[in-house]
């Protein structure tokens, strides 16, 4: 059984991605720690503006692809030398050039399917998983910048966050409690 704890998020909603980008830069310049930004579509430069490191999904793709290559070569070598060896006009049973097309296809298949499934799992988009949505309008037309508020956050710090959100053009400022499980999964409290 996983333990749960509640988390408060103070967030501002923006109508345009350019305004959100400027707001993120201003918030970081003020020294504020941004919890997350939610957008209805990918915003070019937002990750860099938030200071998020590059993804390691390409490393996982390499591992999945290498697994596909190893699977293809191992299986074809076993079939052609142990399980069902056939003499094709005196050619060797272990003929690596003949294995290239199938090896390539399995490399691409394992890498692509593995990366898609990993992406869906990490971003909580897989079937049966609940995505982290603070405001449903962020899935259609609004952009969100959120800040985590805990018991150690002073009223002055909260006021600074509200001030930055107002000064940067937030059309709406709200606060919501969310419930986070020990594994990092977030559930909303309505």
Indicate if the pLDDT at residue 5 is higher than 80.
no
Question: Does residue 187 register a pLDDT over 50?
Answer: no
Pairing relationship of beta strands 36-38 and 186-188 according to DSSP bridges:
unpaired
Query: Considering the chain, what percentage of its residues have pLDDT values greater than 70?
Result: 91
What CATH code would you report for 4-54+130-188?
3.30.70
Q: Higher pLDDT residue, 19 or 98?
A: 19
Q: What are the boundaries of each domain within the chain?
A: 4-54+130-188, 57-122
The pLDDT value given to residue 55: 85
* Nearest C-alpha neighbor of 80 from the set 70, 92, 62: 92
Residue of 36, 14, 18, 67 lying closest to 180 (CA atoms) = 36
pLDDT tens readout for residues 136-170: 999 899 999 999 988 888 888 999 999 999 999 99
Torsion sign across C-alpha atoms 163, 166, 168, 172: positive
Sequence length of the chain is 190
- The end-to-end CA distance of the chain, in Å, is 22
C-alpha closest to that of 39 among 161, 140, 118, 119: 140
pLDDT (mean) for 3-17: 85
């Amino acid at each position: 059984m996983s333990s749960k704890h509640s988390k408060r998020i103070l967030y501002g909603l923006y109508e345009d991605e350019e305004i959100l980008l400027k707001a993120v830069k201003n918030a970081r310049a003020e020294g504020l720690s941004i919890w997350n930004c939610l957008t209805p579509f990918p915003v070019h430069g937002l990750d860099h503006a938030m200071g998020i490191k590059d993804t390691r999904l390409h490393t996982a793709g390499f591992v999945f692809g290498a697994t596909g290559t190893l699977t293809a070569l191992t299986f074809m070598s076993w079939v052609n030398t142990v399980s069902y060896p056939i003499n094709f006009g005196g050619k060797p049973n272990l003929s690596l050039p003949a294995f290239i097309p199938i090896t390539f296809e399995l490399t691409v298949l394992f890498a692509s399917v593995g990366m898609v499934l990993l992406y869906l799992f990490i971003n909580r988009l897989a079937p049966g998983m609940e995505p982290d949505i603070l405001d449903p309008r962020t899935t259609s037309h609004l952009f969100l910048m959120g800040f985590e508020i805990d018991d150690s956050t002073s009223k002055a710090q909260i006021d600074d966050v509200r001030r930055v959100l107002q000064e940067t053009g937030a059309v709406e400022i709200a606060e919501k409690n969310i419930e986070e499980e020990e594994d990092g999964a977030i559930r909303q409290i309505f």
